[in-house]
Structure 1
Amino acid sequence: MNESILQYWNRAKQFWASYTKTQKMTLLATVLLLAVSIPWLIYYFSKTEYALAFTDLQPNDAAGITKYLDSSKIPYILSPDGKEISVPRSQVADVKINVVSQGLNKNGSIGYESLKDSPFGSTDNEWGVKKLSMVQGELQQMLNSFEPVAGSKVMITMPEKSVFVTPGKEAEQSSAAVVLQIKPGYELDQQKIDTMYSLVSKSIKNLPVDNITISEQNGELLPYSKSNGAATASTLAASQFQIKKQLEQDIQKNVSRILGGILGPGKVIPMVTASINFDKKHSTRQTYSPVIDQKGIERSVQEIQKSYSSDGGTTGGTPGTGQTDVPNYPGASSSGKSTSEEVQNIINYEVNQLNEEIDSNPFVINDLTISVGVEPPEKTNSASLTPDTTDAIKQLLANVISSTLANNGKTYTDEDLLKKVTVFNHAFAGPANTDVPNPTNWYLLGGIGLAALALAGAGGFFLSRRRRSAEEENDLPASSAIEYPTVDLESVTNDNQVRKQLETLAKKKPEEFVNLLRTWLVDE
C-alpha cells in the first residue's frame, strides 16, 4: 500500500517537474479560481429567492400574517419597519390567496366579518357601537381599494334617536370625517376624490356631501368639486390648467406627427402656447315667426253680432218747472222708428314661438402661438433647409392656428396668422449621455466571470501542453522516426512479464506499440 502511494507521489512529482514556471502559475491560478467560483455558484443558484408579497401593512395585519406563516412553516423576511413581508418567490401567489381567504389583511379595519365573533346578549348600546365600528371598517376597506390610498381612517357621527316625535322638526343629519394615507409618489385626481365623497354619502343614511370632510395625512383638505352647487376656486383653477395643458399637448403632438412624417423623425421640436378664456355665458332668446304667407294658423274664431230697433218714444226725463231746465238740452220729443246693428269678429292666430337658452362653450381659445425648431437636412449646413420649405411649414402651422381660433369671434388675415408662427432653423444638440446602467446582480456576473476565467486558464494550460509535446516531437531527429521500440524478450522469464510489458507500452505509448506490432509482422 505504501509502495503504491509512493509510486503515485513520484509520478505526481515527475508530472509537476515536467512543466515550466509559467505553466505552473497558470495551473495554480486555475485551480484556485475553480475552488472559489464553483462553491459560490452552487450557493447562489441553490439559495432561496424571496419576493415582496405584502406592503404598507398595519401592525395588527402584519402580526396576523406572520402568525399564519409561522404556523404554515413558510419562511419569510419581515422589514425593519414591520410594513413589508417577503416570501419565497415560488410561494407568493399561494400565500396571497390564503391570506385573503382567511381575512388576515384588512388594512387595519374590521368590517362585517366580525359578526361571527359577536357574543350573544349584547345590549342595544353595545350593538350600536359595534355596528358603527363595522360600518366604519367597511368604508375604510372600500377607500383602501383605491390604488393611491395606502390606508384610511373613517369617523362617523350618527344622530341620536329620540323616543319623542316633534312635528315639523327636520331629521338630524349624519356627518363623517375621513383621513387618507396617500402612497409616496401617488396623487389623487379630482374625479377619484368626488367618487369617495359619493361613496361615503351613499353608504350612510341621511349623510349629505356637505357634511363630509376628506383630508390626507399631511392635513391638506381634499374638497368636493361642487360644494353647494358651485366648483371651489382651487378645483376650478386646477381643472382650467389641466384643460389648457391638454390642449397644448394635443396640438403639439399633431404638429410633431405631421412635420415628423415630412421632415423625418427627430427633426422637429414644436412648442405650443395657448390663451384660453373660461368665462361662462348664459342667454335666453324668444323668437316669433309666421307659419304660412306671413300669417299664422287660425286657432280660434269668435264673431259677435248686435242689433237694436225702436218704434219711437219720449226721450229725456220728466219735465221740470222750467227754472231747472238745462240750457240747450233737448226736451221731450217724439223721434219716430230707429234701428242699429253691430258686428265684432275676434280671430286668434297661432304663430311659431322659439325659446332658446344658450350656454356658451366651456372655454374659448383667445390666442395661439406655435414655435417649431427644425433641424436642416444637413446638420452643419443651415442653408440646406430652403426658404420654400420654411414658408410651407409656416403656412401649414398658420392653417392649424386658423382652424383652432375659428370660434373665438375674431377675424384674422394671413399676415396675422403668420405672425403667430415661428420656425427656428438650427442643428439639434446631441442627447446627453445620461444612460444609467441597469441594476444588475454583480455577484452573479462576478461568479460567471471567475468561472469563465478558470475555464480559459484550464484551456490555455492544456493547449500549451499540447504545443510543448508537438515541439518535442518535432525536435526529435529524423532517424528516430524509423526506429521502432522493442521489448527485451531475452531478459523476460515468463509470459506474464511479457504481457505486462506489452500492456504498459500500449497504455503509455500507443503509437510506439503499433509500430512494434508492425515490426513483428514484417519480421515474420
Structure 2
Amino acid sequence: MGNILEQTKKQLDEFYTNMDKKQKIKIGASGLIIVLSITLLMYYLTRPQYVTLYDELNPKKAGEITKKLDEVGIPWKDDETGNSILVPKEYKNTAKAQLAMEGIPGERFSYESMLTNSSLTMTNEERKNRYEIAQTNSIAQTIEAIEGITWAWVDLTIADDSNFITQNKKSKASVFVELEEGYKLNKKQVDGIVMLVTNSVKSLDPKDVSIVNNKGEVLTKSDNGEEFDASNQLALQEKVQNELREDITGFLATIYGNGNVAVMVNAKLDFDSEETSVLAYEPPIKDETNGLVRSMNESNEKSVNNPISGGVPGIDSNEGEIPEYLERTSSGSEYNKNNKTINYELNETRKKLVKAQGQVKDITVAVLINSNILPGKELTEENKNEIIGIVSASAGLDTKVVKVMAKSFDNTIADRFEEIKNERTGITVLKDIPVWALGVIGVFIIGLLGFIAYSIQNRKKKQETERKMSTDLLIDEEFDEIEISEKSEYKKQINKFVEKNPQAVSQLLKNWLNEE
C-alpha cells in the first residue's frame, strides 16, 4: 500500500513538473473554484433558517426583546425595516417561552391580525369592533415609543355617524401611561399625545382626551390657557437666572478680567394667568371726530296763539245786572321746536388680551469684585455706582436691587492648578512669548531639520556613488591584467608544444580539417 502511494505521488510530481506555467495556472484556478463552490453549498445547506418571532414592534419593545434574547444566548437578527425580530427556526418556541416568563412583549391585537383572522361570516358590527381594538392598540404602541413611557393603554369611544341616530354622541378617548421611575412628562409631551390621539380618531376634540399616569395624576387640563407646573416654573426661573448671571459676568469680565467677578442673580417670575377683553370705538376717517352718517332724523314743531279782544264791562256787553270790571286786552303767543338726530357709523374693535405667563416680575443682583486687582485694593463709591448702573442697564428695567462689594478672592487652588499644569506641559518658559512668534520658531525649526536631513542624504548618495565608481574601475583593471597575463601564458605554452612536437600538431590539424 505504501509503495502504491509513493508511486502515485511520484507520478503526480512528474506530471506537475512536466506542465508549463499556463497549465499550472488553469489547474490552480479550477481547484480554487471547486473549493469555493463546495464551501458555499455547505454553508447554504447548513445555515440556520430564520423565522419571524415578533413584528410591528416599536424601537423600545424591540430593544427589550433583543436584550432578553442576548441574555439567554439565542441568536437573532432584525429585518430591513427594523420593526421585526427573527430567530432561528429551532429557537422560536424557546424564545417565546423565555420572553413570556418576563411578560415581553405583551400581546396586542394588530391590524394584521384583524385582516388575517377575518372571515366572510363576520358581521359588520364584529368587523367594526375588531377595527377599533386594532386602532387602540396601534395608538398605544405609538405612545410607548415616547421617551419615559414604558407601557400605554388606550380606550376609545367613537361616535356613530349613522343617519338613523338623531342624537349624535361625542367621541372621547382615555389614555393611561406607565412612566419610568422618576420620570415626568412635560407639557409638550402631553400635548403631543393629545394631538396623536385626536388625529387618529374621527370627530375627536382635543378637549375630550384625558391622560392619566400610573400615579393617578391627570396630565391634561380642561381649562384654557397654558399652565406651568412646579417643575416647569422652577426650570424656567433657573434658566432666566443663569442667562442673566452669565451675561452680567461676561460683561464685567471685559473690564476686570476673567475670574475676578462673581455674580448672583435672583429673578422672580409671574406665572399668574390674566385675560382682558377690550371694546373700542373710533371714527373710520383718520383725524376726524365724527364717523360716516348712517341715519338722520329731523323734526320741526311750531305753535301760534291768536289774541282775544274783551268788551267794556257793563250793560252793553253783558246783559243782566253784572258789576263792572276794568277793561283788559290779551296779546297772542308763538312756540317753535326743532329736533335733529344723526347716527354715525363708527369702527368697532374688540380685543382679547392674554398675559403671557413667566414674565419677569423683579430682579435682584449681587456682584462681588476681586479687590486684589483694584487700585489700592478698594472699590470707590464712584466705581460702585458705575457698576450698579451697568448691571441695572444690562439686566433690564425690572432690576429692583443691585448690591456691589469688593473682597479679596482666594485663588490658592487655581494658582496651584496653574503651576502643576505649567510644570507638566512646560508652558512656564513660553508663557510670555506671543503666539505668532511661536509659529515662526516652529516653522524655522522644521525647515532647519529638513535642510539637515537633505544634506546628510545627499552626502551619503555622493559617497556611495564615488565608492561604486572606484570599485568598478578597480575590477576592470584587474580583469584586464588577468586577461593579458592569461593570454601570454597560453601563447608561450602553445609555442613551446609546437616546437617540441611538430608532427603531432600537424596530425591534429589534419584530423580537425577532416571532421569539418
Q: TM-score range by the shorter chain?
A: 0.3 to 0.5
TM-score by length of 1: 0.47
Q: Which has the larger radius of gyration?
A: 2
